[in-house]
A and B are shown apart, each in its own frame.
Chain A
Amino acid sequence: MAFVLLVGLGVAAAFLFAASGVYNVAASRGHWWIVDQFLRFGMENSVKARAPETSPNLDDADLIRLGAAHFHGGCAFCHGAPGSRPSPVVQHMLPSPPDLAERVDRWTDGELFWLVKHGLKYAGMPAWPAQDRDDEIWSVVAFLRQLPDLDARHYEELALAEVQVDGGGGRELATAESDPDGVGACARCHGDAGRGPQTKLVPRLQGQSRDWLARSLRDYAEGARHSGIMQPLAAALKPEAIEKLATYYAGLPPLAPDDDPRRGSVEEGQKLATSGDPGAEIPACISCHGSDGSPDYPRLAGQPARYLSAQLAAWRNGKGGTSPTHAIMAPIAARLTDQQIADVSAFFASQRVVGHPGLAP
């Protein structure tokens, strides 16, 4: 009875505290020291309790480049980056986003992963937009591990690749719709005419069909295809911009294969890609993805093996989206073994593109 009474009193006191308005919620004034310590203590333990214990190999140039490219567009605005400070607006948030170069060493890989994936309540740190794309999140963690050692020049090399972002003169800056940081530049990751992607984790868009390119961007924009990296970028594009981009990349000549996959057997992959495995209910890949397939489907020849493997793995795990193409590939990918994924990826990575389907209707 006394216990019930005590609990009742506690609840009533807490209610009165909130009802009275005594506590100041203004971001312009910090928390009381004790409150701040308590919140931090709770946050850190919550993260530690939930973080995964294992991580993939993060010392991986492809992962780091992809992470850097995303960091530049997705994180630097709030957290700053080597050579640029965060916006003053952001600095007046409570809590204000920390300078990550100083902080990342406090966390394990798993904890960073958890923070990037789930974000933090009441701290302005958003969750990863595609909760089923752990592979992308690890690329950000891989980059964060490099961050403390980067200066401005190396950062730019990683984040911008060879994209020039001087943005023209003052007039252009003052009057045109432009992006002084080059955040939206596709070429930072995917390359452009004659130059392939910076990382083997993204597709080569050069010479793909316009239909497929446009459909992919629309799917990202609508959230029907999941990617924490591509969704925000595509969502910012207007329909005309999508058409223009698709036309641009479709018109570029396909690139010669230059990937040297370490895993998988090209011969086995060729068998699977050309004949399928009827016993395991796997159709031949080239029926759709070969040189005379429908423009609704991507050409896989010459694509990086790691990109193909990651996509197949995402589909196989039942992830990646709700788009019509996803609905076709997910059940097929689910029937593939790890070895088959490696083989078939190796095969396509070794293939030269035949013809130039990009501008076909």
Chain B
Amino acid sequence: MNQSVLEPNGAEAERIADLALMLFGGAAIIFFGVMALAAASVWGGVSVRRAIASERMIVAAGIAFPVITLTALLFYSLWLMRANIQGNATPPAGRIEVAAEQWWWRITYVEPDGRRISEANELRLPVGREVELVLTSPDVIHSLWIPAIGGKLDMIPGRTNRMRVSIDGPGIYRGQCAEYCGGPHALMAFDVIALEATEFDAWVRGDVAGGSTETVRGRGIFEESGCGSCHAVRGANASGLVGPDLSRVGGRRTIAAGTLPTSRENLTRFIVDGQSIKPGNLMPPFGLFAAEDVDAISAYLMSLQ
């Protein structure tokens, strides 16, 4: 798993990584050139120094050289952005809506037939298929950033931004909110799981596999304790829209938007004392459950995959 600009695995990220390496190389050459010139001006011999000490040198090194280099760079970057400038004529092969909320990700997979599948805090993408991410925010400004796939794009209340992503190979990448959004902004991450297209389609359309007999008790407590007023679980008496959809929470790699690895113990910790794990998150701490009751809830949630 990586969150690095320098290990790209998507078309845009690769273009930018190439650009970055070129910039670093060029900058290094220029930097050492300027430093060498400065050193020569201080410690160099008389003839060297005389050559440096002229307005001609200032014009050549300070005006002519940068103007030529920067012009070339500008056109190169415009060429890199050509897709963004011309706009996309072709419709995307898939669409996923991502809404950033304080401090988690509401993700909706929109099927070609218009069916919408709600998920949260983990983005699954099909390899080799160009997908459009529709980015919004209902509260404050956030920014979606998956360095291995491409640059970031802000999620601004009242606006809709669109981003095309395509990913080269299966794997797991990490993304994170990149615009300070208050409180636990540091704890607003997510995993991106790139799947082969067929696997992806099967997963999106797959049923919720939760609800074995040993988790019936947990499910009962989950339902009567009001969990469903904020969280939705397909097939259970829980259709809340306030917090993350939990229909497949047990199958996610992390809970609380990348804060903790998914496990029964961690779910229990979060339910009982989420405020000390992720201060300020909107879920109240449910300290009134008996230990075996909350454990039953966690077991039920783990079974939702």
Contacts and interface: CB of A to CB of B under 8 A. Distances in A.
Taking the complex as a whole, does A directly touch B, i.e. does some CB pair lie under 8 Å apart?
yes
Interface of A: 215, 276, 278-279, 281-285, 287-288, 292-294, 296-297, 324-325, 327-332
Contacts of A284: 229, 240
Q: From DSSP, what is the main secondary structure of chain A's interface residues?
A: helix
A287 B229 contact: yes
A278 B244 CA distance: 11
Contacts of B184: none
B224 A294 contact: yes
A194 to B, nearest CB: 29
A137 B165 CA distance: 61
Contact of A278 (B226, B241, B285): B241
Contacts of A328: 284-286, 288
Nearest to B101: A281
Contacts of B242: 276, 278, 281-283
Given A276-B240, A278-B242, A282-B242, A287 B226 contact: yes
Contact of B288 (A285, A293, A324): A324
A327 B138 contact: no
B284 A332 contact: yes
A327 B282 contact: no
7 closest residue pairs by CB, A with B: A287-B229, A288-B226, A283-B229, A324-B288, A278-B241, A324-B287, A287-B226
A331 B224 contact: no
10 contacts: A215-B288, A278-B241, A283-B230, A284-B240, A287-B240, A288-B225, A288-B229, A294-B221, A324-B285, A324-B287
A327 B285 contact: yes
Contacts of A288: 225-226, 229
A296 B240 contact: no
Nearest to A274: B229
A311 to B, nearest CB: 16
A328 B226 CA distance: 11
Contacts of A281: 242, 282
B147 interface: no
B284 A329 contact: yes
Contact of B286 (A282, A293, A324): A324
Contacts of B229: 276, 283-285, 287-288
A290 B282 CA distance: 22
B126 interface: no
B284 A331 contact: yes
A278 B239 CA distance: 11
Given A293-B225, A294-B226, 18 more contacts: A276-B240, A276-B241, A281-B242, A282-B242, A283-B226, A283-B230, A285-B229, A287-B227, A287-B228, A287-B229, A288-B225, A294-B224, A296-B288, A297-B226, A324-B288, A325-B288, A327-B284, A328-B285
Interface of B: 138, 221, 224-230, 240-242, 282, 284-288
A330 B284 contact: yes
Nearest to B139: A281
Nearest to B280: A331
- Most A-side CB within 10 Å, residue of B227, B242, B282, B285: B242
A283 B241 CA distance: 8
A283 B138 CA distance: 16
B285 A293 contact: no
A177 B241 CA distance: 54
B142 to A, nearest CB: 15
B45 to A, nearest CB: 71
A328 B224 CA distance: 15
A173 to B, nearest CB: 41
B235 to A, nearest CB: 17
Contacts of B228: 287
- Most A-side CB within 10 Å, residue of B226, B227, B282: B226
A303 to B, nearest CB: 17
B284 to A, nearest CB: 4
Given A283-B240, A287-B226, A288-B226, A331 B288 contact: no
B287 A292 contact: no
A287 B240 CA distance: 9
Contact of A292 (B138, B221, B224): B224
Nearest to B282: A281
Contacts of A294: 221, 224-226
Nearest to B226: A288
A330 B275 CA distance: 13
Contact of B282 (A215, A276, A331): A331
Nearest to A288: B226
A281 B280 CA distance: 13
Contacts of B240: 276, 278, 283-284, 287
Nearest to A335: B282
B138 A279 contact: yes
Contacts of A282: 242
A297 B284 CA distance: 15
Nearest to B138: A279
Contacts of B285: 324, 327-328
A277 B288 CA distance: 25
A297 B287 CA distance: 13
Contacts of B138: 279
B288 to A, nearest CB: 4
A329 B226 CA distance: 12
